[in-house]
């Protein structure tokens, strides 16, 4: 399919020159068609030697066949076919397109005549269809390809995996088999049991005994467990086996499990009879003994009814225990009794002793009394007896009292010493130390207090520097007052200045006048005196000059006066305006006040009304 070695560019089959007298547009369209076909996967268009019709028709057929639609058409293509054949082929293609239900209508002569425009539209639709079918069949095709691959070849990864499986498989099986029920015995003969018996025999083969619970109660089961406990001590092997497969539970007379068991042989052992015999010979005696024990145990147990036996035993043990406890108590009590008895005996002995002593004394007294009676006056004797007794008692009292006083004295002295020492200690050390401590504390506290006071004073002063509201308003008032005063002073001084200036000017003018008049008078006097005609005109000239000067001054001063007046007028008008504004302002304030009052009144009214409404 591919032209190897050559550059892709070269193998491009674009028509660059007019081959069959086609237009530029057609060429373009044709190139488009080729692109589309290439993109779809029809590589035959690459082959340069094929005619455009070949490529086009080939492309269409390829797309149709790849669209997986059953068109049931047989297209035969020949190179260099004439128009009629080409028409036929084109007709077949058109028919199949119709079958495919292509929306774009095309006719056979268009294909044959290479009407690229129509062909292009059809081709677009076809290519779309091709992609859709590919999408649908992708997965199936892939698997099919894998299957084909797998028939003949195998990837190395897969071979490794299969080997691993092979190795792991026996282990998996063994793990699964751990908890599988294992068959232990095998039935040697074929006895026909009932269904239940059959079931039991099968279960026995697997090593489990299962009882019918309808006929037994749970209490019995417990007893059986106790029996097991008893039996486990006496159960021995009854098989000629080295393995110790224990019987799960002992046999019951329900169904003759013994009989069942006898029919079982251990499937785990695969010994020959020879080896079995050997084992027998070696352990025959031991086995016999154990067998005997076991049989005895089974006999004993199967004789009596199991329930009563165990109960009875329990009771017996309980009673034994109680008896033991009571015996212990009895022993203890007996011991106590024995002790008390010995004590009583001892005290009795003492009593006996005293009694004997007493008797002796009595005898002696009697003897003395007899002697006395014979000799002495009874009354006096009685009195003497009393007095002697009294004397003895008083003597004893005396001794006791003295001793008591001594002990009391010693005790009191001790106490006083103790108290005094305590007092001394307390008086001096405690009080002084407390005093010292208190003094120190006072000093410290005073220091703290003074510090605090300083801080307080500083802060107080700082606070005082800040003026409060009323102070500020006071200041303001004072400032305005001062300002007013200053203004007054200022005006006054200005007025003074002005008067001074004017007065100094008048003084100047008066001096000038004075000088003039003096000069005039001088010259006049001189002129009178000298009668020279020079002075007169000179004087006249002088006077005229001075008159001009004065006139000029006067004009100048008048001008000034006029200016000042103008200024004054201006200021007056301004003043009038400002006064007018001030008046307006006051009026506005008054209006505002009245409005406020009205507002207040209305508000109060509204409140009243609201309250009345509530």
**Interface mask toward other proteins for 340-379; x: CB under 8 A:** ----------------------------------------
Closest approach, Cβ 393 to other proteins, in A, equals: 6
CB atoms within 10 A of CB 438: 10
Residue 459 lies near other proteins (rule: CB under 8 A): no
What are the tokens at 22?
């086609």
Q: Give the CA distances from residue 115 to residues 2, 112, 317, in Å, rounded to whole numbers and listed in that order.
A: 28, 8, 119
- By CB under 8 A, the residues from 301 to 320 that bind other proteins are none
> Please, which residues bridge with residue 88 across strands?
none
333 or 507, CB closer to other proteins? 333
Q: Which residue has the tokens 């006097």?
A: 525
Nearer residue to other proteins within complex by CB, 338 or 491: 338
State the minimum distance, in angstroms, from the CB of residue 316 to other proteins: 29
Binding mask 499-538 for other proteins (x = CB under 8 A): ----------------------------------------
- Tell me the three-class secondary structure of 507-549, residue by residue: HHHHHHHHHHHHHHHHHHHHHHHHCCCCHHHHHHHHHHHHHHH
Phi and psi at 266, nearest 5°, equal: -70, 125
Among the listed residues 235, 242, 234, the one whose alpha carbon sits nearest the alpha carbon of residue 280: 242
Report the nearest approach of other proteins to the CB of residue 402 (Å).
8
Report the residue number, 262 or 386, with the smaller CB distance to other proteins: 386
Closest approach, Cβ 434 to other proteins, in A, equals 25
Helix (H, G, I), strand (E, B) or coil at 177: helix
The 378-417 contact track toward other proteins, x by CB under 8 A, reads: -----------xx--xx-xxxxxx-xx---x---------
Burial string for 91-116 (b: 16+ CB within 10 Å, else e) reads bbbbebbeebebeeebebebbbbbeb
> In the stretch 42-61, what mask flags binding to other proteins with x, by CB under 8 A?
--------------------
Euclidean distance between the first and the last CA atom of the chain, given in angstroms as a whole number: 107
Q: Answer positive or negative: Cα dihedral of 505, 511, 516, 520.
A: positive
The DSSP string of 184-199 is -EEE-S-----HHHHH
- Report how many residues bind other proteins under the rule CB under 8 A: 13
Instruction: Pick between residue 338 and residue 349 the one whose CB is nearest to other proteins.
Output: 338
Output 198 or 334, the one with its CB closest to other proteins.
Answer: 334
Compute the least distance from the CB of residue 404 to other proteins, in Å: 4
Nearer to other proteins, 338 or 420 (CB): 338
Task: List the structure tokens of 151.
Answer: 């028939």
State which residue, 417 or 482, has the beta carbon closest to other proteins: 417
CB of 426 to other proteins, least distance (A): 17
**What does the per-residue mask of binding to other proteins show for 433-452, with x meaning CB under 8 A?**
--------------------
**404 vs 496 by CB, closer to other proteins:** 404
**Cα 176 to Cα 448: distance, rounded to the nearest angstrom:** 91
Closest to other proteins by CB, 397 or 573: 397
Query: Can you say whether residue 115 is alpha, beta or left, with left for phi > 0 and alpha for psi between -120 and 50 degrees?
Result: beta
- The answer to whether the beta carbons of residues 36 and 127 sit under 8 Å apart is yes
The Cα 120–Cα 33 span in angstroms is 6
* Cβ distance to other proteins smaller for residue 339 or 366: 339
Minimum CB separation of residue 328 from other proteins in Å reads 20
The minimum distance between CB 390 and other proteins, in angstroms, equals: 6
Residue numbers at the binding site for other proteins (CB under 8 A) = 389-390, 393-394, 396-401, 403-404, 408
């Amino acid at each position: 399919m591919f032209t190897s070695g050559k550059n892709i560019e070269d193998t491009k089959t674009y028509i660059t020159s007019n081959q069959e007298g086609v237009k530029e547009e057609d060429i373009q369209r044709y190139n488009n068609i080729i692109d589309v076909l290439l993109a779809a996967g029809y590589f035959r268009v690459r082959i340069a030697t094929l005619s455009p019709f070949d490529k086009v028709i080939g492309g269409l057929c390829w797309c149709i066949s790849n669209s997986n639609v059953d068109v049931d058409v047989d297209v035969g293509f020949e190179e260099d076919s004439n128009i009629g054949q080409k028409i036929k082929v084109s007709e077949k293609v058109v028919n199949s397109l119709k079958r495919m239900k292509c929306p774009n209508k095309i006719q056979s002569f268009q294909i044959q005549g290479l009407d690229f425009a129509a062909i292009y539209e059809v081709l677009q639709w076809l290519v779309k269809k091709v992609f859709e079918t590919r999408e649908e069949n992708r997965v199936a095709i892939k698997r099919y390809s894998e299957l084909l691959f797998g028939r003949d070849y195998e990837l190395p990864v897969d071979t490794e995996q299969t080997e691993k499986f092979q190795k792991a498989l026996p282990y998996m099986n063994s793990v699964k088999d751990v908890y599988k029920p294992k068959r232990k015995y095998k039935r040697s003969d074929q006895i026909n049991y009932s269904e239940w018996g059959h079931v039991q025999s099968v279960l026995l083969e697997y090593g489990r005994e299962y009882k019918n619970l309808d006929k037994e109660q749970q209490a019995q089961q417990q007893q059986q467990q106790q029996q097991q406990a008893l039996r486990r001590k006496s159960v021995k092997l009854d098989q000629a086996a080295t393995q110790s497969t224990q019987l799960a539970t002992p046999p019951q007379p329900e169904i003759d499990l013994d009989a069942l068991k006898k029919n079982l042989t251990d499937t785990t052992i695969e010994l020959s009879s020879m080896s079995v015999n050997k084992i027998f010979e070696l352990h025959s005696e031991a086995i016999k003994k154990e067998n005997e024990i076991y049989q005895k145990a089974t006999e004993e147990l199967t004789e009596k009814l199991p329930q009563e036996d165990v109960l009875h035993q329990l009771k017996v043990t309980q009673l034994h225990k109680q008896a033991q406890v009571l015996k212990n108590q009895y022993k203890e009590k007996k011991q106590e009794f024995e002790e008390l008895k010995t004590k009583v005996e001892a005290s009795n002995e003492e009593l006996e002793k005293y009694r004997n002593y007493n008797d002796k004394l009595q005898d002696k007294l009697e003897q003395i009394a007899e002697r006395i009676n014979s000799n002495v006056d009874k009354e006096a004797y009685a009195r003497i007896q009393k007095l002697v007794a009294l004397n003895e008692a008083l003597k004893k009292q005396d001794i006791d009292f003295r001793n008591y006083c001594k002990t009391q004295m010693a005790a009191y002295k001790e106490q006083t010493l103790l108290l005094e020492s305590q007092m001394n200690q307390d008086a001096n050390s405690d009080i002084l130390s407390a005093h010292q401590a208190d003094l120190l504390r006072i000093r410290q506290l005073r220091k703290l207090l003074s510090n605090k006071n300083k801080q307080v004073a500083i802060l107080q002063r700082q606070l005082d520097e800040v003026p409060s509201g009323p102070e500020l308003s006071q200041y303001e008032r004072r400032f305005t007052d001062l300002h007013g005063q200053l203004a007054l002073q200022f005006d006054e001084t200005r007025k003074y200045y002005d008067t001074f200036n004017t007065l100094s000017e008048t003084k100047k003018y008066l001096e000038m006048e004075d000088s003039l008049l003096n000069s005039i008078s001088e010259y006049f006097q001189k002129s009178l005196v000298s009668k020279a005609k020079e002075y007169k005109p000179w004087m006249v000239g002088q006077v005229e000059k001075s008159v001009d000067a004065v006139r000029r001054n006067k004009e100048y001063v008048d001008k000034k006066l006029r200016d000042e007046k103008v200024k004054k007028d201006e200021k007056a008008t301004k003043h009038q305006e400002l006064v007018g504004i001030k008046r307006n302002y006051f009026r506005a304030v008054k209006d505002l006040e009245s409005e406020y009052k009205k507002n207040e009144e209305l508000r109060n009214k509204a409140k009243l009304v609201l309250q009345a409404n509530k």
